[in-house]
């Protein structure tokens, strides 16, 4: 790690512990030393202490930011090795670390879309059931600590820095086949979960499956394939059958499998594989809309007005979008498989855990300059179709003036249905005919250069919509001018199709050209763009 040896890191760790001691017992709101209007000399002396603590706190927050920058520096030093699928490097790295993955029971989750929310559901429920639960997902939106969770809390910054130093220490300086960035952060997850002695870890595949760095467990508790569409064909193969073969690579002999809805071409490949491996398999159908219980059910004082039912299990569904009916059903089927293996997961744990589930950056309602904005990754054709379907369920009828604006909370997921009700009171979740939303949509988009731009635009754009194109900062972004030409060709009747060099300029244009303060603006096209937005909000 540049400019930081182990002694310096330990010193920063001590300072961080002091910050934790100083910040929480002695906040201004609860400090018994601060008594407004008391002018005694004794109290005046005591009132000086919080001021020093405030300065000390600011200094230690700066140190935390320095740690985050150091984490970025270390991981970015491996970024130039790019995407290189294969298991040899990660297996060697884990061997040098003592094979921590051997002591971590896992649920392994692959698929084109839906992986993240399935992981979030499973992690929340298993934590509620009383287990010590690790969760590893990618990519992060704001910083690297989001990739690694323990019992619904991100890994502490100083803990991640310490683990990365440990990993860096076993990689030779003259290593001819250095691990990639993804392999290093994946190794960090395995090491952290082993050190924390988790009962179970929910592990999301990064890309594909067969040759992904997460695919090092010989006997997962359950292997999941959520969905499949044509993405990352450059690495996985040009056809759905090729891609299905790669994702089916996470299946292991005699280990249970849970499979979501797949195209017929892909389903045939996966079905052949589970038969060859003798995997007990559940082919999941979407859950159905459930009845809201008559008794009041809320978690953290947030009502959950949408419920679903799968295999006789009724549960709240806090995440937005029709596709959550299949994602949540996959999670429930996986929990049922665990129950059959002896895991103690009660119906109450399922209900409360599902209600507590959060997943940021996917159908998330937030605000920017006092204007409601819907943000979603929508980085491939399938997720773009899901986004458009969700937008088409919104009807702008009976809207209230000046809806309350709630800023996003770091580490939380998409906004709840009641947040939506104040904006579109008649919004629902049932499928409605295309174009049900009776005013044009304003899209602010940036897309990576490797994506299928035409298919994404076909899924999203309709005549009369506005489109404002921006680059995705710090990543291999498609040029906005190139995207503009594609979009105009696909949907020539756009009201506006303009390019901007920065995200904030595109958002400002979208708001300025809106006919009223409640017109729908959607920011999408890349999770990295959404992450940049949330980071700079």
pLDDT tens column, 134-168: 999 999 999 999 999 999 999 999 999 999 999 99
**Residue 418, pLDDT above cutoff 50:** no
Tell me: do 108 and 250 sit in the same domain: yes
Residue 152 lies in a domain: yes
Q: How far is CA 257 from CA 205, 253, 323, 367, in A?
A: 15, 10, 20, 40
CATH number at residue 426: 3.90.190.20
Tell me: do 169 and 207 sit in the same domain: yes
Task: Find the length of the chain.
Answer: 537
Tell me: do 101 and 199 sit in the same domain: yes
Residue 320 lies in a domain: no
Inter-residue contact 222 to 256 (CB < 8 Å):
yes
CATH number at residue 172: 3.40.1190.10
Tell me: do 209 and 155 sit in the same domain: yes
Tell me: do 517 and 457 sit in the same domain: yes
Higher pLDDT, 148 or 2: 148
pLDDT at 178: 85
Tell me: do 184 and 236 sit in the same domain: yes
- Position 170 confidence tier, pLDDT thresholds 50, 70, 90: very high
Residue 338 lies in a domain: no
- Position 439 confidence tier, pLDDT thresholds 50, 70, 90: confident
Q: How far is CA 265 from CA 112, 121, 396, 437, 477, in A?
A: 15, 28, 39, 33, 31
**Residue 410, pLDDT above cutoff 70:** no
Tell me: do 144 and 102 sit in the same domain: yes
pLDDT at 79: 73
- Domain end (from 77, 95, 124): 77
| Cα–Cα distance for residue pair 4/11, rounded to 1 Å | 10
pLDDT tens column, 71-87: 887 888 777 655 677 89
- Position 428 confidence tier, pLDDT thresholds 50, 70, 90: very low
**Residue 426, pLDDT above cutoff 60:** no
- Domain end (from 77, 111, 137): 77
**Residue 419, pLDDT above cutoff 60:** no
Tell me: do 428 and 371 sit in the same domain: yes
- Position 240 confidence tier, pLDDT thresholds 50, 70, 90: very high
pLDDT at 517: 63
Mean pLDDT of the chain, nearest integer: 82
pLDDT at 63: 55
Tell me: do 478 and 370 sit in the same domain: yes
Residue 255 lies in a domain: yes
Q: How far is CA 76 from CA 2, 26, 72, 82, 444, in A?
A: 11, 37, 6, 10, 28
pTM summary value: 0.80
Structural domain range at position 436: 364-536
pLDDT tens column, 463-489: 999 999 999 998 889 999 999 999 999
Residue 322 lies in a domain: no
Residue 112 lies in a domain: yes
Residue 325 lies in a domain: no
- Domain end (from 259, 286, 313): 286
Q: What percent of the chain has pLDDT over 70?
A: 75
Tell me: do 35 and 106 sit in the same domain: no
| Cα–Cα distance for residue pair 491/463, rounded to 1 Å | 6
- Position 431 confidence tier, pLDDT thresholds 50, 70, 90: very low
Write the secondary structure of 188-205 as one string of H (helix), E (strand) and C (coil): HHHHHHHHCCCCEEEEEC
Inter-residue contact 328 to 350 (CB < 8 Å):
no
Strand-pair partners of 372:
367
Tell me: do 130 and 278 sit in the same domain: yes
Into how many domains does the chain fold? 3
Residue 282's contacts (CB-CB under 8 Å, 6 or more residues apart) are 256, 257, 258, 259, 333, 336, 337
DSSP for 227-273 reads ---S-SHHHH-SSHHHHHHHHGGG--TT--EEE----HHHHHHHHHH
pLDDT tens column, 501-529: 999 999 999 999 887 666 799 999 999 99
pLDDT at 530: 95
Tell me: do 169 and 267 sit in the same domain: yes
**Residue 31, pLDDT above cutoff 50:** no
Residue 308 lies in a domain: no
């Amino acid at each position: 790690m540049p400019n930081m040896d182990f002694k310096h890191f330990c010193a920063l760790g001590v300072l961080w512990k002091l910050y934790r001691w100083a910040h929480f017992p002695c906040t201004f709101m609860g400090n018994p030393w601060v008594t407004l209007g008391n002018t005694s000399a004794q109290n005046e002396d005591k009132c000086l202490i919080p001021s020093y603590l405030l300065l000390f706190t600011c200094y230690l927050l700066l140190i935390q930011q320095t740690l985050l920058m150091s984490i970025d520096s270390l991981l970015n030093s491996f970024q130039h090795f790019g995407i290189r699928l294969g298991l040899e490097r990660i297996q060697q790295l884990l061997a040098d670390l003592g094979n921590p993955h051997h002591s971590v029971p896992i649920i392994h989750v692959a698929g084109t879309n839906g992986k993240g929310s399935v992981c979030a559901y499973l992690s929340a429920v298993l934590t509620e059931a009383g287990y010590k639960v690790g969760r590893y997902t990618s990519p992060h939106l704001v910083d690297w600590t989001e990739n690694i969770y323990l019992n619904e809390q991100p890994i502490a910054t100083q803990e991640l820095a310490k683990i990365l130093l440990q990993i860096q220490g076993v990689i030779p300086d003259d290593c001819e086949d250095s691990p990639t960035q993804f392999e290093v952060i994946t190794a960090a997850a395995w090491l952290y979960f082993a050190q924390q002695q988790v009962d179970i870890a929910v592990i999301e595949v990064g890309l594909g499956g067969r040759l992904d760095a997460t695919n090092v467990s010989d006997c997962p508790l359950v292997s999941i394939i959520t969905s499949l569409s044509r993405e990352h064909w450059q690495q996985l193969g040009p056809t759905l059958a090729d891609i299905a073969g790669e994702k089916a690579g996470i299946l292991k002999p005699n280990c249970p499998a849970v499979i979501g809805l797949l195209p017929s071409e892909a389903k045939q490949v996966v079905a052949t594989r589970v038969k060859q491996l003798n995997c007990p398999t559940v082919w999941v159908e979407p859950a159905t809309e459930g009845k809201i219980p008559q008794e009041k059910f809320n978690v953290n004082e947030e009502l959950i007005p949408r419920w679903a039912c799968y295999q006789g299990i009724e549960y709240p569904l806090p995440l937005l979008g029709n596709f959550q009916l299949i994602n949540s059903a996959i999670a429930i089927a996986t929990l049922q498989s665990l129950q059959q293996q002896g895991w103690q997961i009660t119906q109450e744990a399922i209900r409360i855990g599902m209600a507590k589930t959060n997943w940021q950056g996917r159908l998330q309602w937030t605000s920017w300059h006092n204007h409601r904005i819907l943000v979603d990754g929508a980085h491939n054709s399938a997720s773009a179709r899901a986004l458009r379907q969700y937008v088409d369920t919104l009807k702008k009828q009976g809207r209230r003036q000046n809806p309350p604006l709630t800023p996003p909370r770091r580490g939380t997921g998409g906004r709840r249905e009641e947040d939506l009700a104040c904006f579109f009171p008649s919004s629902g979740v049932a499928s409605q005919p295309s174009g049900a939303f009776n005013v044009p949509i304003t899209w602010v988009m940036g897309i990576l250069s490797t994506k299928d731009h035409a298919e994404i635009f076909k899924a999203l754009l309709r005549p009369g919509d506005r489109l404002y194109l921006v680059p995705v900062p710090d990543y291999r972004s498609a040029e906005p001018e190139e995207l503009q030409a594609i979009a105009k060709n696909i949907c020539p009747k756009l009201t506006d199709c303009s390019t901007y060099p920065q995200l904030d300029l595109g958002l400002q244009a979208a708001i300025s050209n809106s006919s009223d303060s409640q017109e729908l603006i959607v920011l999408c096209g890349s999770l990295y763009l959404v992450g940049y937005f949330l980071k700079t909000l």
